[in-house]
Amino acid sequence: MKLQEMEKCAPTSDWNVLYWVLGSILMPVALPLAIINLWQRFRAQKYRNQLPGKVVLITGASSGLGESLAHVFYRAGCKVILAARRVQELERVKKDLLALDVQPAYPPTVLALDLSELNSIPDFVTRALAVYNQVDILINNGGISVRADVASTAVDVDLKVMVVNYFGSVALTKALLPSMIKRQIGHICFISSVQGKFAIPQRAAYSASKHAMQAFADALRAEVASKNINVSCISPGYVQTQLSMNALTGSGNNYGKMDEATAKGMSPQKLSERILQCILCKEPDIIVSDFQAKIAYYLRHLLPSVFFWIMAKRALKLEKAAKKST
């Protein structure tokens, strides 16, 4: 269908409903939501003194958001276990943490972890538990992304993204869960994405893996609620990390480009502080993004026909841009 024909088919009646929703529903709740956010920040500050001495295991801690999370929790007085494939980078992060003036301070622990090697994860958990005999907070942050449309993405790439982003975190969570259940305490945090809430063109594999993570977190949360174990799922928008630089193409090669949206995204430091607040307040599911992403989320659920029309236009625009660049 041509762009002109798509515009003629745009659901104009839905636009009227959208304006009504924005004016009559969303605006009146903005103030209460702001008040709630301030209250949550107050609560987070109140419970912050409970963090010193807690054992925090962070995956994907060698760079980006994981590295920033390591700084935030180390500064809070936690016993931090850093996990990722690149041990040399983990040692760099450890060195940076040790240079900080923090009291109390516990030397960070570095452990190699490849989330794609599912069979090695139980042994990794054994080594992680041996450090302090427990893990109080697990932050499933490690993952990869893809920049390719469905038609040009090899199934092997879909599989790799799903293994690293979903099955890796699932395997790690399952291996660690018995120790938390035995102690009747713990907090499991999944770093998802707004693209796990709604899918956009050229992110099918990534969105699918994050959507699966959301579903797993929801089911797990219900099952462990009676065991004093909390489960949080954080869905950020664009973050200023190397995610797009390290993303895969449809053939499995390195994408190696910095997306404009990623470059203009939220700072990892700001997001890390919000994640800390989420854990302190035991929030089950939050979206941390700009207004545009939140509008897209509500459109997907309240006015799906409008959302689908916008995404179709976006896909067509990306397709034309790709043809011009080749």
What digits encode the pLDDT tens for the residues 47-79?
557 899 999 999 999 999 999 999 999 999 999
Residue 60 lies in a domain: yes
87 found inside a domain: yes
Q: What is the pLDDT of residue 104?
A: 79
User: Does residue 258 or residue 22 have the better pLDDT?
Assistant: 258
Over residues 197-216, the pLDDT tens digits come to 999 999 999 999 999 999 99
- pLDDT value, residue 28: 62
- Residue 45 is predicted with a pLDDT of 57
- Three-state helix/strand/coil letters over 263-290: HCCECHHHHHHHHHHHHHCCCCEEEECC
- Examine residue 44 and state whether it is found in any structural domain, yes or no: no
Task: Residue 120: give the domain boundaries.
Answer: 49-289
Residue count (the chain): 326
Could you give phi then psi for residue 139, rounded to 5 degrees?
A: -115, 105
Least confident of 25-34, 199-208, 311-320: 25-34
Q: Measured between alpha carbons, how far is 299 from 11 in angstroms, rounded to an integer?
A: 13
Supply the DSSP string of 114-171, one letter for each residue: -TT-GGGHHHHHHHHHHHHS--SEEEE-----B---TTT--HHHHHHHHIIIIIHHHH
Distances (CA, A) of 55 to 23, 77, 138, 323: 46, 10, 9, 50
Query: CB neighbours of 299 closer than 8 A, spacing ≥ 6?
Result: 18, 306, 307, 310
7 within some domain: no
Domain count, the chain: 2
Query: Residue 77 domain-assigned?
Result: yes
Which is the catalytic residue, given 74, 166, 206, 297?
A: 206
The predicted structure's pLDDT at residue 3 = 45
pLDDT of 84 above 50? yes
- Residue 316 sits in the same domain as residue 268: no
Overall average pLDDT of the 308-316 stretch: 94
What pLDDT shows up at residue 39?
A: 55
CATH number at residue 109: 3.40.50.720
Whether residue 177 lies inside any domain: the answer is yes
Instruction: Render 90-116 in DSSP notation, one character per residue.
Output: HHHHHHHHHTS--SS----EEEE--TT
Q: What is the pTM of this model?
A: 0.84
Q: Are residues 269 and 298 in the same domain?
A: no
Asked whether residue 172 falls in the same domain as residue 301, the answer is: no
206 is catalytic: yes
Instruction: Supply angle C-alpha 66, 67, 71, rounded to 5.
Output: 115
Coil, helix or strand for 202? Answer: coil
Residue 6's pLDDT is 45
Name the burial class of residue 245, with classes exposed (0-12), middle (13-18) and buried (19+) by CB atoms within 10 angstroms of its CB: middle
3-class state of residue 319 by DSSP? helix
Q: Do 177 and 118 meet the contact criterion of CB atoms below 8 Å apart?
A: no
Q: Do both 70 and 199 map to the same domain?
A: yes
**What pLDDT is stored for residue 140 in this prediction?**
98
Question: Residue 276's pLDDT is what?
Answer: 96
Average pLDDT over residues 286-308: 92
- Domain co-membership, 233 together with 209: yes
Claim to verify: residue 169 and residue 307 sit in the same structural domain? no
Is there a domain that residue 122 lies in? yes
User: Do both 303 and 283 map to the same domain?
Assistant: no
Whether residues 232 and 325 fall in one domain = no
What is the per-residue pLDDT for 53?
93
- Which percentage of the chain shows pLDDT scores above 70? 85
From 6, 28, 3, select the one nearest 306 (Cα to Cα).
Answer: 6
CB 244, CB 255: distance < 8 Å = yes
How many percent of the chain have pLDDT more than 90?
Answer: 70
272, 316: one domain:
no
Q: Are residues 245 and 111 in the same domain?
A: yes
Q: How confident is the model at residue 305 (pLDDT cuts 50, 70, 90)?
A: very high
* Average pLDDT over the chain, rounded to an integer: 88
pLDDT tens digit string along 251-294?
888 887 787 778 888 899 999 999 999 999 999 999 999 888 99
Residue 242: per-residue pLDDT:
80
Q: Are residues 239 and 326 part of one domain? A: no
pLDDT at 40: 56
In a domain, 229, yes or no: yes
**Rg of the chain (C-alpha set):** 21
164 with 297, same domain? Answer: no
